[in-house]
Amino acid sequence: MNDHRYSNEEIAAVERAIRERRDMRHFLPDPLPEGLLERLVEAAHLAPSVGFMQPWRFLHITDQALRRRIHALVEEERLITAEKLPSRNEEFRQVKIEGILDCADVLVVALMPERERHIVGRRQLPEMDVASVGCAIQNMWLLARAEGIGLGWVSFFDPDALGALLGLPDGARPVAVLCIGQVSAFYPRPMFEEAGWGKRLPLASVLFENQWPSEAGGTPTAY
């Protein structure tokens, strides 16, 4: 025990949000409570970032016609993905991968332009900018779950086409379409697991000591 520790109840709440967070794709049409979207974006903005570069930018899509065009881009990519899979193509076509037209709010998260000027912590690992955005979205995801609000991360899109649609400057890059809204229930397990596209790996198969064991391979494929 130390002086900085949260109470048992607070720790249990943090762990509960981590455990019960789900990628949501079914939404109710009801709006978010007043001020919640701003709090979610603020939670994202409190995330860690490599060299404190804060590479995230959020575009709130309030134009319904624009939302439909984003949905069309995602639908196009979903069908191409189904076609490209080596097997289970028709099965994949049945899997719901987004709720863009149903959720209360859509946010597009983009990497800012001129990221090449930030070399602290990413001279050898430029992808640490995307990692930082992942931290931001996870903050939002956990607060949303604690608030009983669903969030789904959609990454099926051509980033150049989406960037053009949203007037992104050269060098900026969209990495997420976030569907946010009220839900009737949270899935008890990942939807992909329900649909037979993978299982949470045992902890022992992802935690090694000192050296990568010769018998350990990659992750089992989902297709």
CB of 139 to ligand FMN, least distance (A): 13
CA distance to 83, 129, 168, 187, 202, per residue, from 137 (Å):
29, 13, 20, 19, 25
- Between vectors from CA 190 to CA 188 and to CA 192, what angle results, nearest 5°? 135
Of 4 and 200, CB closest to ligand FMN: 200
Cβ distance to ligand FMN smaller for residue 151 or 168: 151
* 3-state class (DSSP) for residue 88: coil
80 versus 119: smaller Cβ distance to ligand FMN: 80
Under a CB-based contact definition with an 8 Å cutoff, are residues 26 and 183 in contact?
A: yes
- Piece in contact with ligand FMN (CB under 6 A), picked from 18-26, 30-38, 58-66, 83-91: 18-26
For the window 20-59, what string marks contact with ligand FMN as x by the rule CB under 6 A? --xx-x----------------------------------
3-state secondary structure of 186: coil
Residue 153 near ligand FMN by CB under 6 A: yes
Instruction: Give the binding-site size for ligand FMN (rule: CB under 6 A).
Output: 11
Report phi then psi at 45, rounded to 5: -70, -15
* Cα-based torsion angle of the residue sequence 135, 139, 140, 142 in order, rounded to the nearest 10 degrees: 130
Q: Which is nearer to ligand FMN, 6 or 101 (CB)?
A: 101
Query: Quick check: 156 binds ligand FMN (CB under 6 A)?
Result: yes
- What are the backbone angles phi and psi of residue 152, rounded to the nearest 5°? -125, 135
Q: Cβ of residue 78: shortest distance to ligand FMN, in angstroms?
A: 8
Query: Applying CB under 6 A, which residues contact ligand FMN?
Result: 22-23, 25, 97-98, 153-156, 190, 192
